[in-house]
């Protein structure tokens, strides 16, 4: 299993996305509220893997069904974790050097590579940034407008209907985790 943040709703595969950030989790929720069918980190439709690089998986692949029920990609959507200056957060560290500067350089190169890849394959890429998420403007309205501008059909789902989409929680797992937490507290107290 991947580590990350479990989204509230399943993507088009029927499986809840395990996102890499709280921002991506919120985007998953908003896309669901807008009635947008998407896959989280599905393989890009073109082969991009090399000896040095794994297959590209855009954050969101937005799809729609045609009149015959066949799925087609409308838009690829990336959410970049960068500030208004185009830099990653200071807590990002490169796995090989442990340095922020190297992580920042690699992330920026990754953004450029993604943009060039979409340009090369003539696929529609839209992106947002963490800076836009935090700049005080209504991120969700901006996102909705960009989706519409990029040809995505938006049909807001009423909250009562959204409740039916919620990921069903595993009560036995929740009980098991609660028991483990209680045991930990008891052991902590018993051992001073």
Which tokens in the block code for residue 138?
């209504």
Give the span between the Cα atoms of 141 and 102, in whole angstroms: 34
pLDDT (0 to 100) of residue 167? 55
- 8 Å CB contact between 1 and 173: no
- Give per-residue pLDDT as tens, 104-159: 999 999 999 999 999 999 999 999 999 999 988 899 999 999 999 999 999 999 98
Contacts of 48 (CB under 8 A, 6+ apart): 55, 56, 117
Higher pLDDT, 97 or 174: 97
Please compute the mean of the pLDDT values over residues 87-100 and round it to a whole number: 87
- Give per-residue pLDDT as tens, 17-43: 899 999 999 999 999 999 999 999 999
pLDDT (0 to 100) of residue 1? 45
Contacts of 42 (CB under 8 A, 6+ apart): 13, 57, 58, 61
Q: What's the whole-model pTM score?
A: 0.82
- Give per-residue pLDDT as tens, 32-79: 999 999 999 999 999 999 998 999 999 999 999 999 989 999 999 999
């Amino acid at each position: 299993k991947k580590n990350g943040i479990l989204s509230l709703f399943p993507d088009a595969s029927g499986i809840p996305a395990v996102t890499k950030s709280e921002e991506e989790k919120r985007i998953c929720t908003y896309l669901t509220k807008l009635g947008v069918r998407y896959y989280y980190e599905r393989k890009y439709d073109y082969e991009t893997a090399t000896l040095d690089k794994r297959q590209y998986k855009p954050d969101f692949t937005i799809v729609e069904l045609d009149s015959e029920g066949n799925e087609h990609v409308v838009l690829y959507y990336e959410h970049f974790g960068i500030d208004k200056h185009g830099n990653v957060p200071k807590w990002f560290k490169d796995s090989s050097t442990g340095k922020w500067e190297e992580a920042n350089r690699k992330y920026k190169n990754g953004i450029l590579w993604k943009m060039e890849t979409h340009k090369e394959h003539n696929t529609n890429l839209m992106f947002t940034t963490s800076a836009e998420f935090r700049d005080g403007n209504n991120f969700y309205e901006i996102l909705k407008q960009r989706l519409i501008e990029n040809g995505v059909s938006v049909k807001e789902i009423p909250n009562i209907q959204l409740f039916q989409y919620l990921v069903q929680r595993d009560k036995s797992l929740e009980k098991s985790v609660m028991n483990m937490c209680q045991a930990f507290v008891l052991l902590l107290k018993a051992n001073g």
